[in-house]
A and B are shown apart, each in its own frame.
Chain A
Amino acid sequence: MNLTQSLKTAYRGLVTNKLRSFLTLLGIMIGVAAVVAMISIGTGASSYVSAQIRGLGSNLLIVTPGRAATGQGGASQAQGTGQSLTMADANAIKQEVSGISRMSPELSGQAQVIYQDKNVSTSISGVTDTYETVHNFHVLYGDFMGTEEEQVGAAVAVLGQNVVVNLFGQANPIGAIIKIKNVPFKVIGIMESKGGSFGNQDDTILVPLSTAQRRLFGADYLRSIYVQVVSEAQVPQTNSEITSLLLSRHHVTDAAQRDFNVSSQADILNTVSQITGVLTILLGGIAAISLLVGGIGIMNIMLVSVTERTREIGLRKAVGAHGRDILFQFLMESVVLSLIGGVLGLALGALGGIAIARYGGWTPVISLNSALLALGFSAGIGIFFGVYPARRASRLNPIEALRYE
Chain B
Amino acid sequence: MAEDKSAETIIRTTDLVKKYGEGKAEFKALKSVSIAIRQGEFVAVMGPSGSGKSTLMNLIGCLDTPTSGRYSLAGRAAETMTQDELADIRSDEIGFVFQQFNLLPRTSALENVMMPLSYAHRKRDNPREWCEGLLRSVGLAERIGSLPNEMSGGEQQRVAIARALVNDPGILLADEPTGALDSKSGDEIMGIFSRLNKDGRTIVMITHEQYIAEYAGRIIHLKDGRVESDEPNGDRHSRGRQ
Residues on A facing B (Cβ under 8 Å): 1, 5, 9, 12, 16, 311-312, 314-323, 325, 398-399, 402
Contact yes or no, A319 B163, CB < 8 A: yes
Chain B minimum-CB-distance residue to A325: B119
Contact yes or no, B119 A402, CB < 8 A: no
Using A317-B87, A319-B96, A320-B92 as known contacts, say yes or no to A16 and B106 having CB atoms under 8 A apart.
yes
Per-residue 0/1 for B72-109: is the Cβ within 8 Å of any A Cβ (1 yes, 0 no)?
00000000000110011011100010100010111100
Docked complex Cα distance between A398 and B90 (Å): 12
Docked complex Cα distance between A322 and B81 (Å): 13
Contact yes or no, A320 B63, CB < 8 A: no
Residues on B facing A (Cβ under 8 Å): 58, 61, 63-64, 83-84, 87-88, 90-92, 96, 98, 102, 104-107, 115-116, 118-120, 163, 167
Contact yes or no, B90 A318, CB < 8 A: yes
Which listed residue, B88, B98, B106, B116, touches A402 by the CB 8 Å rule? B98
Most chain B CB inside 10 Å of its own CB: which residue of A16, A315, A399: A315
Docked complex Cα distance between A319 and B90 (Å): 6
Contact yes or no, A322 B84, CB < 8 A: yes
A sample of 10 cross-chain residue pairs with beta-carbon separation below 8 angstroms, ordered by A number, consists of A1-B119, A5-B118, A312-B104, A316-B115, A317-B63, A318-B96, A319-B91, A320-B90, A320-B92, A323-B84
Chain B minimum-CB-distance residue to A315: B102
Q: Point out the residues of chain A lying under 8 angstroms from B107, CB to CB.
A: 12
Q: Point out the residues of chain B lying under 8 angstroms from A5, CB to CB.
A: 118
Docked complex Cα distance between A321 and B167 (Å): 13
Contact yes or no, A320 B115, CB < 8 A: no
Contact yes or no, B119 A320, CB < 8 A: yes
Contact yes or no, B63 A399, CB < 8 A: yes
Q: Point out the residues of chain B lying under 8 angstroms from A322, CB to CB.
A: 83-84, 87, 119
Chain A minimum-CB-distance residue to B163: A319
Docked complex Cα distance between A320 and B115 (Å): 10
Nearest-neighbour CB distance to chain A for B81, whole angstroms, equals 13
Most chain A CB inside 10 Å of its own CB: which residue of B105, B115, B119: B119
Q: Point out the residues of chain A lying under 8 angstroms from B83, CB to CB.
A: 322-323
Contact yes or no, A1 B118, CB < 8 A: yes
Contact yes or no, A319 B115, CB < 8 A: yes
Docked complex Cα distance between A316 and B104 (Å): 10
Q: Point out the residues of chain B lying under 8 angstroms from A315, CB to CB.
A: 102, 104
Docked complex Cα distance between A9 and B120 (Å): 15
Which listed residue, A316, A319, A321, A399, touches B58 by the CB 8 Å rule? A399
Docked complex Cα distance between A321 and B84 (Å): 9
Chain B minimum-CB-distance residue to A17: B106
Q: Point out the residues of chain A lying under 8 angstroms from B63, CB to CB.
A: 317-318, 398-399
Contact yes or no, B98 A319, CB < 8 A: no
Lowest 10 A-B CB distances belong to which pairs?
A: A320-B91, A319-B116, A320-B119, A321-B119, A315-B102, A320-B90, A5-B118, A322-B87, A16-B106, A1-B118
Docked complex Cα distance between A1 and B119 (Å): 6
Q: Point out the residues of chain B lying under 8 angstroms from A311, CB to CB.
A: 102
Nearest-neighbour CB distance to chain A for B117, whole angstroms, equals 9
Docked complex Cα distance between A311 and B98 (Å): 12
Chain A minimum-CB-distance residue to B173: A318
Chain B minimum-CB-distance residue to A2: B118
Which listed residue, A314, A319, A398, A399, touches B119 by the CB 8 Å rule? A319
